Amino acid sequence: MTLQVKQVHKHFVGEASGVDLSKPLDAGTIKAVNDAMDKYAVLVFRDQPLTQTQQLELAKSFGPLDMGLKKLKKQPDRLEHAELADISNVADAGGTVARDSRKIVSNIANQLWHSDSSFQQPAARYSMLAAVQVPSSGGDTEFADLRAAYDALPDETKQEIEGLEAEHYALHSRFLLGDTEYTDEQKAALPPVWWPLVRTHPGSGRKLLFAGIHARAIKGWTVAEGRMLLMDLLEHATQPEFVYIHKWRPNDLVIWDNRSTLHRGRRFDLSQPRELRRATTLDVDGREQAAA
């Protein structure tokens, strides 16, 4: 079997089949997935039960792995591999964690539109999220197409934002949520970085609007004016027309390209377990695109 993809949204997102992700992928399949990612930006694979090790091996075949916020060492690891992110409200001893647990802040920060690890260089390229358990309602994940969002900007806005640079900071979203208890050491571990607001995706050659909640300032602008522009652009990019809503089933594996999409989780009943696991690759080539 070879990779087959059916587009499920006007602008992006493919439902993929024909590949068993639990087995090592050959070079041809890896290329086919990369080509499909360049085109669809999000690929949804159904019915792919993966062990933690299989998920990690899958991610490794697409590049070096990203550790993201794990640098802060805020939570002990529940999973078998340090490189896997525990995207869940599940307690170490089973059951769900308390509402005021730090783990819930991470869950909720994921409910703000973002591109994984855009607060570091290199940032994330592919995120691969596997569903283990899902709540009976809510807890969808939404994706926004930043290429379609760029294309739809008025020419005047395109000209205004060309060449602008945005500062991305890991703790900006946490501060917004009232989570401010970080040591100087933790703050120093994740210094802010700059990215152009308009970027060109190397695989597709398409321009895109690199917005998201980690962006907190525009170079050379006042904080207030910069933040307002960033909020306007984020609102533009996340209009329903550019958004795909993923309704999770256990054993789904969704891969998204953090260079060309934003995503966010949606609210759900925190007393119900929602358990996903993420492996993420680093966008090592994207460093050259970083703003100085």
Give the helix/strand (H/E) hosting 227. Answer: helix 223-237
277 binds ligand OGA (CB under 6 A): no
117 binds ligand OGA (CB under 6 A): no
Give the residue from 282, 283, 263 showing the smallest Cα distance to 44: 263
Per-residue CA distances from 140 to 96, 105, 133, 168, 254 (Å): 18, 17, 12, 25, 12
116 binds Mn ion (CB under 5 A): yes
Judged on CB neighbours under 10 Å (0-12, 13-18, 19+), 52 is middle
Nearest residue (beta carbon) to ligand OGA: 265
Judged on CB neighbours under 10 Å (0-12, 13-18, 19+), 215 is buried
* SS3 of residue 43 by DSSP: strand
The pattern of x and - marking residues 44 through 83 that bind ligand OGA according to CB under 6 A reads ----------------------------------------
Q: Which is nearer to ligand OGA, 12 or 248 (CB)?
A: 248
Residue 20 CB, nearest approach to Mn ion (Å): 26
Distance CA 84, CA 103 (A): 15
The pattern of x and - marking residues 144 through 183 that bind ligand OGA according to CB under 6 A reads ----------------------------------------
- Compute how many residues bind ligand OGA; rule: CB under 6 A: 10
Binding site for ligand OGA (CB under 6 A): 87, 110, 116, 127, 129, 141, 263, 265, 276, 278
